[in-house]
């Protein structure tokens, strides 16, 4: 075998480095576009923009949404609202409302960033991951923890407008199954949490957008795991919130 000279070795090394960089970039871009990366790019508001913080779990983040960067629901909401608004996505996949859950929202950078954003409007949609058997305690505990999470934002900004979204409906992958679906999510408990969120709105004067009802009896809005809305589902969520904001004429 002919021995390589220094120039040939250097050329091969450069080629190898380029291939590694290109490959790594492709992986990063691919995971971002498909909603797998967990990356966030927060927009900076212009002067006098109405700032909207979308807080939640993977459904808010946009896990599984095709063309994630443009089509997650907060991004679509931002596009619908247009000039004069700044909507940021503070969803974290797997996040729970309850502090004793396996992934409490308080532990993640999205929580801190959402507080620092000092939003004018909080849109909160969370609870799906709390339905997992190892996270769930009882309805009273969830309700108390949910109110505690809201209080973090109202303490930061007493004038913040609080809009609560019920968690999306989840479905069994096999319609003949019972119990838990993908990711150990309990569909029946999602509906129970939706009822709790409705009660919280009634009892505390918070505003409500009922995403659970929006997605009820409409499994075509979900990806194959039947937990995460697909791009069409994200569009339905964004339009529902947009229409609510426009109809109330407070935004």
What integer is the mean pLDDT of 224-251? 92
Edge to edge, the sheet with strand 121-125 lists 85-91, 50-56, 121-125, 161-165, 207-209
Those residues with Cβ within 8 angstroms of residue 42's Cβ, 6 or more apart along the chain or in another chain: 88, 113, 117
Domain boundaries, the chain: 1-33, 43-248
Is the predicted pLDDT of residue 38 greater than 70, yes or no? no
**Average of per-residue pLDDT values in the chain:** 89
HSE toward the beta carbon, residue 121, CA cutoff 13 A:
25
Q: Report the CATH superfamily, name and number, of domain 43-248.
A: SGNH hydrolase (3.40.50.1110)
Model confidence at 29, pLDDT cuts 50, 70, 90, reads very low
What does the pLDDT average to over 123-150?
Answer: 98
Q: Could you give the percent of the chain with pLDDT greater than 70?
A: 84
d(CA 119, CA 156): 9
Kindly tell me if the per-residue pLDDT of 167 is higher than 90.
yes
Residue 151 clears pLDDT 90, i.e. is over it:
yes
* pLDDT-wise least confident of 14-18, 80-84, 89-93: 14-18
Whole-number pLDDT of residue 244: 98
Residue closest to 207 by CA, chosen among 152, 250, 143, 153: 250
Q: How confident is the model at residue 3 (pLDDT cuts 50, 70, 90)?
A: low
**What's the CA gap between 51 and 227, in Å, rounded?**
28
Looking at per-residue pLDDT, the higher value among 43 and 92 belongs to 92
The model's confidence at residue 39, banded by pLDDT at 50, 70 and 90, is low
* pLDDT given at position 206: 98
Q: Is residue 13 over pLDDT 80?
A: no
If 0-12 CB within 10 Å is exposed, 13-18 middle and 19+ buried, where does residue 15 land? exposed
The pLDDT value recorded for residue 179 is 85
pLDDT at 26 over 50: no
- Predicted local confidence at residue 41, as pLDDT: 75
What is residue 207's three-state secondary structure? strand
Q: With 0-12 CB in 10 A as exposed, 13-18 as middle and 19+ as buried, what is 166?
A: buried
Least confident residue range of 31-35, 101-105, 119-123, 215-219: 31-35
């Amino acid at each position: 075998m002919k021995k390589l000279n220094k120039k040939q070795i250097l050329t091969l090394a450069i080629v190898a480095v380029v291939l590694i960089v290109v490959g790594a970039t492709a992986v990063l871009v691919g995971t971002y576009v498909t909603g797998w990366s967990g990356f966030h790019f927060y927009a900076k508001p212009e002067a006098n923009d109405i700032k909207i913080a979308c807080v939640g779990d993977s459904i808010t983040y946009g896990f599984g949404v095709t063309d994630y960067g443009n089509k997650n629901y907060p991004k679509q909401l931002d596009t619908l609202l247009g000039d004069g608004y700044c909507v940021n996505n503070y969803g974290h996949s797997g996040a729970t409302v309850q502090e004793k859950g396996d992934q409490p929202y308080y532990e993640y950078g999205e929580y801190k960033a959402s507080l620092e954003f000092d939003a004018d409007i909080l849109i909160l949609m969370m609870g799906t991951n709390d339905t997992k058997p190892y996270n769930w305690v009882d309805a009273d505990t969830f309700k108390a923890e949910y109110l505690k999470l809201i209080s973090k934002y109202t303490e930061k900004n007493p004038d913040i407008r609080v809009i609560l979204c019920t968690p999306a409906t989840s479905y069994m992958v096999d319609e003949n199954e019972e119990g838990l679906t993908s990711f150990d999510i309990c569909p029946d408990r999602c509906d129970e949490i939706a009822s709790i969120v409705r009660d919280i709105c009634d009892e505390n004067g918070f505003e409500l957008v009922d995403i659970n009802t929006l997605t009820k009896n409409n499994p075509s809005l979900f990806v194959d795991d039947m937990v995460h809305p697909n791009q069409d589902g994200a569009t339905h969520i964004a339009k529902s919130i947009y229409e609510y904001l426009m109809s109330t004429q407070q935004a």
